[in-house]
Amino acid sequence: MQATGSADSAHVIGTVDARLYGSFVEHLGRAVYTGIYEPDHPTANANGMRQDVIDLVRELEVPIVRYPGGNFVSAYNWEDGIGPREDRPVRLDLAWHTAESNQVGIHEFADWATAANTEMMLAVNLGSRGLDEARALLEYVNHPGGTHWSDLRRTNGREEPWNVKMWCLGNEMDGPWQIGQKTAEEYGRIAFETAKAMRAFDNSLELVVCGSSTPNMPTYPAWEATVLDYTYDSVDYISLHMYFENHAGDTARYLAQNARLDDYIQTVAGVITYTKAKKRSKKDIYISFDEWNVWYHSKEADKTILEGHDGWPHAPALLEDVYNFEDVLQVGCIINTFIRRCDVVKVACLAQLVNVIAPIMTVPGGPAWRQTTFYPYLYASKFGRGKALRLVVDVPAYATDFAETVPYLDVAAVESDSDGALTFFIVNRHPTETIDLDLSVQGFGERRVVADKVIAGHDLRAVNGPDGQPVEPADGTGVGVTDGRLQGSIAPLSYRMIRLG
Ligand code: AHR
């Protein structure tokens, strides 16, 4: 099978915002406790944070991390997580049917973010609380001093404000599972008023209003139209979430799901355009796709806790999906979609980062290890920053019940702004056929392959674990540039990252 086409330096989709490779840490399961924070761990730093986890997060070069939820935030009192640790209350977390010790709060997380070389993106509670809590938290986090909340922060050991720029106005407010779920009208109003108050403090904040929790919501996409009608001129982003599953064990259908993701982005981009026109607005807003991942492997195992049959455990092993080789291909296709839609998706957060549907896993008291999906995320984060190119690739396609044309080869390409390298991210979805790639790269001058990484040849169900990580990248061979054409063979069911210098 052949894939022919071209990459042209003049055909640019847009500049990839580095925050396209963001992630997410929620007070959920073992993401925080025994994930990022484990004071008794041999690698724990002075703040009780696991250095082995920090090292892996730094390796991923995660630009921004959303915190503290997720569903958790919708019944969270942020004040429970400040002040002397021994005075902090234990609370029931109604979202995940667990107990929250509050041993980690905003100070600890901010220190961790600095150590992990990432920025914070904070969410306010618009479920059980509202505008007043949001303005207090904002003052605590971003005001220099001389006021009640900012001086309390200083008393609690942090002199300088953190100056957090990006704020989420609640989480998944359309979802019946959300504490304090709202109708689009109710949410649009409270989000507008909260944004107004937050902007009265600092007009340069970047505010994210909740869009749909999935494209399967009965309220989608009317939700977006109503919420943006209230908030268009007050916010900068509308958030979308989507998770992917292969319960049916149908690989072809599973790997086609980024076609649904593309439709979702396209539809919400349309609602944004419509609302902008309706309001005669000069302003653009973008999508913050601040939760996405594969999530299904652990759902059966989690039922006992989530249905309340296991009491209210503290930091149980929840949502601990163990990813397989097939998920590498899926994550590669999803990230490629975000790169190709970087004109409208500026921020995206892999949900989540540690232990909970995560690329990084930990053993309490033991090692931290890389899941299979660590690698497509790693390569995109490191090498997918710059200009996304509008490729022309002619390759055979297949059909599924939800998409008529799913190309066997999924490709995205980015020309780096820092070193000019041209990186191709490629997934061959074909179950049996090698695809011979032949792409013109003439407009980019003299080029040669400077890196070629491949993940291929594994059983689709092969997984990594604490005792061994068989699903790892290897050096690719046989790909080169001849007479301005990138040529080589892409193995069936494979992930490939090729960098031209
Ligand atoms: O990431 C896990 C959960 O998925 C989040 O808490 C919630 O926002 C979403 O439903």
Q: What average pLDDT does this structure show over 281-292?
A: 98
pLDDT tens-digit map of 364-383: 999 999 999 999 999 999 99
The parent domain of residue 422 ranges over 2-9+389-500
Q: Which of 365, 383, 401 is the last residue of a domain?
A: 383
pLDDT tens-digit map of 66-92: 999 999 999 999 999 999 999 999 999
Q: What whole-number percentage of the chain has pLDDT above 90? A: 99
Has 291 been annotated as catalytic? yes
Q: Which residues pair with 100 in a beta bridge?
A: 91
Ligand 1 centroid vs 49 CA: distance in angstroms? 23
Q: How many whole angstroms separate alpha carbon 71 and alpha carbon 54? A: 24
Beta carbon of 70 within 6 Å of any ligand 1 atom: yes
Q: How many whole angstroms separate alpha carbon 470 and alpha carbon 370? A: 10
Which atom of ligand 1 lies closest to the CA of 28?
A: 6
Which atom of ligand 1 lies closest to the CA of 319?
A: 2
Q: How many whole angstroms separate alpha carbon 419 and alpha carbon 499? A: 11
Ligand 1 centroid vs 70 CA: distance in angstroms? 5
Ligand 1 centroid vs 501 CA: distance in angstroms? 39
Asked if 143 and 183 sit in the same domain, the reply is yes
Asked if 349 and 496 sit in the same domain, the reply is no
Q: What average pLDDT does this structure show over 98-105?
A: 98
Asked if 248 and 377 sit in the same domain, the reply is yes
Asked if 369 and 433 sit in the same domain, the reply is no
Q: What average pLDDT does this structure show over 4-24?
A: 97
Beta carbon of 69 within 6 Å of any ligand 1 atom: yes
Q: What average pLDDT does this structure show over 329-351?
A: 98
Contact between 113 and 141 (Cβ < 8 Å)? no
Letter for the amino acid at 101?
S
- Among residues 33, 118, 20, 21, which one has the least CA distance to residue 355? 33
Beta carbon of 206 within 6 Å of any ligand 1 atom: no
Q: What average pLDDT does this structure show over 160-178?
A: 98
Four-point Cα dihedral 440, 442, 443, 448, nearest 10: 100
Reported in sequence order, the residue ranges of 266-307 that DSSP labels E, i.e. its strands, are 286-294
Asked if 371 and 447 sit in the same domain, the reply is no
Asked if 336 and 409 sit in the same domain, the reply is no
Radius of gyration of the chain (CA): 23
Question: What is the DSSP code string of 198-247?
Answer: HHHH-TT-EEEEE--S-TT-TTTTHHHHHHHHHHTTT-SEEEEEEEE--T
CB atoms within 10 A of CB 86: 6
CATH number where 354 lies: 3.20.20.80
Residue 155: its H or E element:
helix 148-155
Q: Which of 344, 360, 383 is the last residue of a domain?
A: 383
Beta carbon of 321 within 6 Å of any ligand 1 atom: no
pLDDT at 422 over 90: yes
Q: How many whole angstroms separate alpha carbon 397 and alpha carbon 188? A: 41
Q: Which of 342, 360, 383 is the last residue of a domain?
A: 383
pLDDT tens-digit map of 432-482: 999 999 999 988 999 999 999 999 999 999 999 999 999 999 999 999 999
SS3 of 166, please?
Answer: strand
Asked if 125 and 36 sit in the same domain, the reply is yes
Has 79 been annotated as catalytic? no
Contact between 214 and 175 (Cβ < 8 Å)? no
Q: What average pLDDT does this structure show over 258-272?
A: 98
Q: What average pLDDT does this structure show over 216-231?
A: 98
Ligand 1 centroid vs 426 CA: distance in angstroms? 28
Asked if 198 and 81 sit in the same domain, the reply is yes
Task: Write the DSSP symbol of residue 434.
Answer: -
pLDDT tens-digit map of 310-331: 899 999 999 999 999 999 999 9
Which atom of ligand 1 lies closest to the CA of 95?
A: 6
Structure tokens at 447: 């080029």
Name the H helices within 31-96.
51-60
Asked if 256 and 223 sit in the same domain, the reply is yes
Beta carbon of 324 within 6 Å of any ligand 1 atom: no
Beta carbon of 172 within 6 Å of any ligand 1 atom: yes
Question: What is the pLDDT confidence band of residue 24, given thresholds at 50, 70 and 90?
Answer: very high
CATH number where 454 lies: 2.60.40.1180
pLDDT tens-digit map of 35-73: 999 999 999 999 999 999 999 999 999 999 999 999 999
Asked if 143 and 219 sit in the same domain, the reply is yes
Sign of the C-alpha dihedral computed for residues 281, 347, 48 and 382 taken in this order:
negative
Asked if 132 and 160 sit in the same domain, the reply is yes
Contact between 376 and 328 (Cβ < 8 Å)? yes
Asked if 105 and 126 sit in the same domain, the reply is yes
SS3 of 124, please?
Answer: strand
The residue nearest atom 4 of ligand 1, judged by CA position, is 70
Contact between 205 and 254 (Cβ < 8 Å)? no
The residue nearest atom 8 of ligand 1, judged by CA position, is 70
Quote the mean pLDDT of the chain.
97
In the chain, the number of structural domains is: 2
CB atoms within 10 A of CB 460: 16
Which atom of ligand 1 lies closest to the CA of 72?
A: 6
Q: What average pLDDT does this structure show over 212-231?
A: 98
pLDDT at 309 over 90: no
Does the predicted interface ipTM exceed a cut of 0.90? yes
Distance set, CA 273 to CA 24, 433, 439 (Å): 28, 41, 34
